[in-house]
Amino acid sequence: MPRVRRSRLISPPASSDAVRAVMRANKKRDTGPELVVRRMLHELGYRYRLHARDVPGNPDIVFRRRRKAIFVHGCFWHQHQDQSCPLRSHPRSNLTYWGPKFQRNVERDQANARLINDLGWRALLVWECELIDNNRLRAKLIKFLESP
């Protein structure tokens, strides 16, 4: 079986200019989407901490006083299940390799969500594909942070 380059596996079909723009912005897959969210929060005037190791799941962005955390998830790695996700992509080969990896990611996400709720924290999940619509994402962030 020929070796498949990882980059081929993680690249969803670019279906529109917006998607291509997001993909370009997210070249550094782990940091790109998170940086976009951080910049947006900063512009909105929110101050946050990064990567709280004492909070379950080591959230990307943390608001200690509000006891709120934001996770930014890549649609591929965390297997975004929303049918309308334009970045949704499933590996077409090597399923024996990717299948268990994804399963572990998804299970870990669910376990962390439970733990964080048990601590009395609230968590917001921002999917990579939500970065396409800035206005909508901005509204979502504000609603999350301003709700009791």
Residue among 42 and 103 whose Cβ is closer to Zn ion: 103
- Beta-carbon contacts of residue 82 (< 8 Å; ≥ 6 apart): 88, 127, 129
Residue among 87 and 116 whose Cβ is closer to Zn ion: 87
Beta strands, E only, 57-140: 61-63, 68-73, 122-127
Site for Zn ion (CB under 5 A): how many residues?
6
* Contact stretch for Zn ion (CB under 5 A) within 36-44, 50-58, 65-73, 86-94: 86-94
> Is residue 22 within 8 Å of residue 132, measured between CB atoms?
yes
Site for Zn ion in 87-126 (CB under 5 A): 87
Residue among 19 and 142 whose Cβ is closer to Zn ion: 19
Contact string 35-64 vs Zn ion (x = CB under 5 A):
------------------------------
Provide, rounded to whole angstroms, the least separation between the CB of residue 80 and Zn ion. 3
Contact string 66-85 vs Zn ion (x = CB under 5 A):
---------x----x----x
Distance, C-alpha 13 to centroid of its chain: 19
> Is residue 145 within 8 Å of residue 86, measured between CB atoms?
no
β-strand pairing of 122-127 with 61-63: unpaired
Does 141 engage in binding with Zn ion (CB under 5 A)?
no
Provide, rounded to whole angstroms, the least separation between the CB of residue 79 and Zn ion. 9
Nearest CA to 128 among 14, 2, 29, 5? Answer: 29
β-strand pairing of 122-127 with 68-73: parallel
The footprint of Zn ion (CB under 5 A) covers: 75, 80, 85, 87, 127, 129
